[in-house]
Amino acid sequence: MLPNRPETGRLRDGPDLTQRPVDKGIIMAEALVPTREPRRTGATAPQEAGLLDLEDGDRQFVTALARGLQVLRAFRDASEMLGNREIAARTGLPKPTVSRLTHTLLSLGYLVHGQDGERYGLGPAVLALSAAFLRQNSFPQMAKPYLQDLATAVQAHVALGLLDGLHCVYVQLWRGKGQTITLSSEVGFHLPLACSVMGMATLAGMDEEQRGPLVERLRRESGAEWPALERTMQRCFAEVAEHGFCVGVGIWRPEINAVAAPIHSPGARGIFSVNVSGPAFLMTEAVLRRDTGPKLMETIARMRALGIVD
């Protein structure tokens, strides 16, 4: 049974985040807003805490390799430039360790120097890895024409996301043809499970064996916010079970509303979900439930009829 709605009829999930002014004709969305980090315990940063959990008791676990990959994952946007101090802050790794890792990754082409010679950006070797992934996983390409049609039909931002730890990462995205108001996120953007409707849909699409460990990590890291997060998850799980999609009003940003659905493809590698988002003054809760969500499900049904999705 779904929780009672506010008397205004507008459902708001998650903490009350500060409103930002809207630029003329452009909504500044997820990619320009720093990701809300999980709650920290002591001096251990979130990524380092996850590394320690994996390392514990596993003799096959190569810590040096994991730390190098942590450095690459510290980059939240393909165009972002970071110095060793910033990377150390994001990963929880000691700065001398970060310095050695960035030197190694620079030598191998996974990082490149910025113009100042002090900061780093992602290098071409990372692009080669992402291209190899897309070649091996044909589902995003098969879904492309259908999700582009959806973006045009609803005149909104449509993203195909893939589970990545406690985030969903955009692997493809589309904007409606002729769309005049756009969001600024790009491929590679990471959206937290804990405060996004795409994250809620992703969790809802898993079986309990897959979902349980992630929910437990969210419970540990959310701290005092866990009761509110748990209520949001329960609502979204119920909506996905009943309608196939769930609605988010202000879950990620107050000025952005969205609808999302889990999606499964035969033979696809990973757990996918589709997110349709736009400015709150256009994509109201009523519009999402009455129009956008059903159109999303119609698109998934078209792909299912052709065997592209289960």
pLDDT interval class at 241 (50, 70, 90)? very high
Domains in the chain (CATH in brackets) are 30-34+132-305 (3.30.450.40), 46-75+82-118 (1.10.10.10)
Average pLDDT over residues 78-85: 87
pLDDT digits (tens, 9 = 90+) for 184-221: 677 778 889 999 999 999 999 999 999 999 999 999 99
Cα gap 202→215, rounded to integer Å:
12
pLDDT > 70 fraction of the chain, expressed in percent and rounded: 78
Give the pLDDT score at 78.
67
- Is pLDDT at 102 greater than 80 in this prediction? yes
- Is pLDDT at 51 greater than 90 in this prediction? no
pLDDT digits (tens, 9 = 90+) for 11-41: 445 433 333 333 333 333 333 233 333 333 3
CA distance to 78, 117, 119, 294, per residue, from 100 (Å)? 22, 16, 14, 51
User: Which residue, among 127, 72, 129, 60, has the nearest Cα to 98 in the 3D structure?
Assistant: 72
- Is pLDDT at 125 greater than 60 in this prediction? yes
Cα gap 95→93, rounded to integer Å:
6
Contact yes or no for 126/156 (Cβ under 8 A): no
CB proximity list for 41: less than 8 A, separation 6 or greater? 49
Of 114-118, 169-173, 184-188, 239-243, which range is least confident? 184-188
